[in-house]
Amino acid sequence: MALLSSKTKAALLGPLNKNNPVIVQVLGICSALAVTSKLEPAIVMAISVTLVVAFANVIISLLRNTIPNRIRIIVQLVVVATLVTIVSEVLKAFAYDVNKQLSVFVGLIVTNCILMGRLEAFALGNGPWPSFLDGIGNGLGYGWILIVVGFFRELLGSGTLMGHQVIPQAFYDAGYQDNGLMMLAPMAILLVACIIWVHRTVNKELQEETN
Amino acid sequence: MAMNRESNTYTILYAVVMVVVVALGLALTHQLLKDRQVENENIDKMQQILRSLNVNVTANEALDRYGQLIQNAYLIDEQGVKVAETEGTAPQDPAFSTELGDPAAKGMPVYEALVDGSLKYVIPMSGAGLWGGIWGYMAIEADGSTIYGAEFDHSGETPGLGAEIADVAFKRQFQGKHLFRDGEFRSVAVVKPGRTDAHRDYVDGISGGTITSQGVDRMLRESVGEYRDFLMKLNTANQ
């Protein structure tokens, strides 16, 4: 059997494009607005969510035949919160600097609706391996949007990328100014809307029927 | 016992077992990692103190540099008088382990550092930003007024906005500013970029981080203000 059957391939690659959690399902918008004013936290958040959603998917998938239906949401939440706490504790002991950057996002990861969405919609009904790929796919699908938005917000809002100045001083001397609006959350949602616009223009089948 | 997944007994047992397993797992993780975490926190604190002295070192070098630069540390009371038997710079000594605002504390910490042959006093600060706590250290020249360097950090201000108070560009503005004017403690104001303050020295706040900037302003007035008498004594002694 091939490592990636067509179904598992769809689980991995679908969320990157036509089944994207942010720009098609419009999930995880809240954290996408909060952490994208700079590129670096956007990347850290993308990696963290990818790891957490992948491993939470595997754990829920392994437990899926034992979980009582009535408390399944609670079980999912406990699994996610436990994973995030353990990751945070380990980082605090072995990578203190990374933890300092990440600590802000720990709460946001737990409340990210993409996680609950994937656990509920996929992991409860599929085996561990497809669930793992589904988690990676959705994490990356969420992540690339964050990184694109973070790239433009930092570039246009601060004139820097990853904290390094990229817009030359000569531009500022000639009267160029950083766009302060880029630093604020409304601009992030406008950027996400622009991505959705471009995405739907390319993928016409995603457009809703008018009238 | 029948394994009916929808029965109340199964649901309750499942929840109980899950909670106990998770609690034990988390408690064990915490216990195993605690020593390393405390050590990291101490080193992080040393790095912050060193950064207020404009010395930026990695975690590996922090312990050595801290030992070289920090000559003495002790607690002072509200009148600025050194509390007896509180001297010592090690992590378990009172000056290092005392947190600002702790009601059981015997005083407020002061660190003495010797940089290139001149004495600096480092004091901790703590206050509130928009989402949570902000804190920092301020290194003051022997005259008790001129700021040699400042260090700020925060628990969870918005990245790109309030979190910029931890940025070097913001911290550097404080160098050379004066806490005293006309023999009176005035602190340093954090104003909206472009504004001025005629009554005291000022620095530019963070655009889009207004509440955090105001928090820093208040911290400089109130938290540093607690050391007013101590700084005043230095100021009159070394004029």
pLDDT digits (tens, 9 = 90+) for B205-221: 998 889 999 999 999 99
Across residues B73-83, what is the average pLDDT?
89
H or E stretch at B8: helix B8-52
From the list B14, B161, B207, the residue facing A68 with the nearest CB is B14
Q: Which residue of A has its CA nearest to B168?
A: A163
**B1: pLDDT strictly greater than 50:** no
Helix H, strand E, coil C: the string for B152-183 is EEECCCCCCCHHHHHCHHHHHCCCCCECEECC
Interface probe with A: pick from B13, B18, B210, most Cβ of A within 10 Å: B18
Q: Has residue A101 been placed in a domain?
A: yes
Q: What is the nearest CA distance from A48 to chain B, expressed in angstroms?
A: 16
CB contact under 8 A, B158 and A103: no
Tell me the mean pLDDT in the region B71-86: 88
* pLDDT at residue B64 is higher than 60: yes
Least confidently predicted of B63-67, B82-86, B124-128: B82-86
Chain A, chain B: beta-carbon pairs less than 8 Å apart: 77
Residue B239 has pLDDT above 70, yes or no: no
Integer angstrom CA distances of residue B22 from A47, A74, A79, A109, B18: 24, 13, 9, 18, 6
Quick: pLDDT tens for A152-184: 999 998 888 887 888 888 888 888 888 878 888
Q: What is the mean pLDDT of chain B?
A: 89
**Position B108 pLDDT exceeds 80:** yes
Q: Do B33 and A154 touch (CB under 8 A)?
A: no
Residue B163 lies in a domain: yes
Angle at which helices A113-121 and A96-111 cross, to 10°: 60
B79 domain residue, yes or no = yes
Residue A207 lies in a domain: no
Mean pLDDT score, A4-14: 79
The rounded distance, in Å, linking the Cα atoms of B112 and B129 is 28
Our count of domains for chain A comes to: 1
Chain A positions in Cβ-Cβ contact with residue B36 (cut-off 8 Å): 93-94
Phi/psi for B112 (5° steps) reads -105, 125
- Per-residue pLDDT of B141-191, as tens digits, reads 999 899 999 999 998 787 778 888 998 899 999 999 999 988 889 999 999
Query: Looking at CA atoms only, how far is residue A18 from chain B in angstroms?
Result: 30
Mean pLDDT in residue range B84-107: 84
pLDDT the model gives residue A103? 64
Write the pLDDT tens digit of every residue in A75-88.
Answer: 999 999 898 888 78
| Nearest residue in chain A measured CA to CA from B155 | A104
Residue A106 CB neighbours (<10 A): 18
B3 found inside a domain: no
Q: Which of B29, B48, B167, B206 to mutate to test the interface with A (most CBs of A within 10 A)?
A: B29
Measured in angstroms, the CA of A84 and the nearest CA of chain B are apart by 11
pLDDT above 80 for A98: no
Give me the number of domains chain B comprises: 1
CA distances from B3 to A74, B10, B13 (A): 20, 7, 11
Task: Tell me which chain A residues have a C-beta less than 8 angstroms from the C-beta of B208.
Answer: 180, 183-184
| A172–chain B nearest CA distance, Å | 17
User: Residue A209's pLDDT band (boundaries 50, 70, 90)?
Assistant: confident
In a domain, A106, yes or no: yes
The percent of residues above 70 in pLDDT, for chain A, comes to: 94
pLDDT tens for each residue of B118-151: 999 999 999 999 988 999 999 999 998 999 999 9
Query: What are the chain A neighbours of B156 within 8 Å (beta carbons)?
Result: 103-104
- Cβ distance B33 to A92 less than 8 Å, yes or no, reads yes
Instruction: Tell me, yes or no, whether A32 lies in a domain.
Output: yes
In-domain check, residue A128? yes
Q: How far is B87 from chain A (nearest CA, A)?
A: 29
Of A57-66, A89-98, B102-111, the least confident: A89-98
Lookup: tokens for A152: 């433009």
Identify the domain containing residue A116 by its residue range.
22-202
Residue B188 domain boundaries: 70-237
CA B36 to chain centroid, in Å, comes to 21
Is residue B126 included in any domain, yes or no? yes
Q: Which long-range contacts (CB under 8 A, 24 or more apart) does A97-103 make?
A: A97/B59, A98/A44, A100/B44, A101/A40, A101/A41, A101/A44, A102/A44, A102/A48, A103/B155, A103/B156
Question: What is this structure's pTM?
Answer: 0.71
Pairing of strands B108-115, B70-76: antiparallel
Does any domain span residue A80? yes
Confidence of residue A101 (pLDDT cuts 50, 70, 90): low
| B2 falls within a domain | no
Name the B residues in 85-114 with CB < 8 Å from any A CB. none
Q: What is the mean pLDDT of residues B84-100?
A: 85
Q: Which pLDDT belongs to residue B66?
A: 92
Please check the confidence at residue B196 and state whether its pLDDT lies above 50.
yes
Residue B97 falls inside a structural domain = yes
Q: Does any domain span residue A133?
A: yes
Q: At what angle do helices A128-158 and A39-63 cross, to 10 degrees?
A: 170
To the nearest whole Å, the CA of A183 is away from the closest chain B CA by 7
Cβ neighbours of B130 in A, within 8 Å: none
Quick one: B93 exposed, middle or buried, by C-beta within 10 A (0-12, 13-18, 19+)? middle
In this predicted structure, what is the pLDDT of residue A205? Answer: 83
A98 touches chain B (CB under 8 A): no
* Distance set, CA A59 to CA A135, B184, B203, B228 (Å): 11, 63, 51, 56
With an 8 Å Cβ cutoff, are B160 and A75 in contact?
no
Is the residue at B52 inside a domain? no
- With CA atoms as reference, report the closest residue to B229 among B152, B101, B120, B123: B123
Chain-centroid distance of CA A2 in Å reads 28
Q: What is the mean pLDDT of chain A?
A: 85
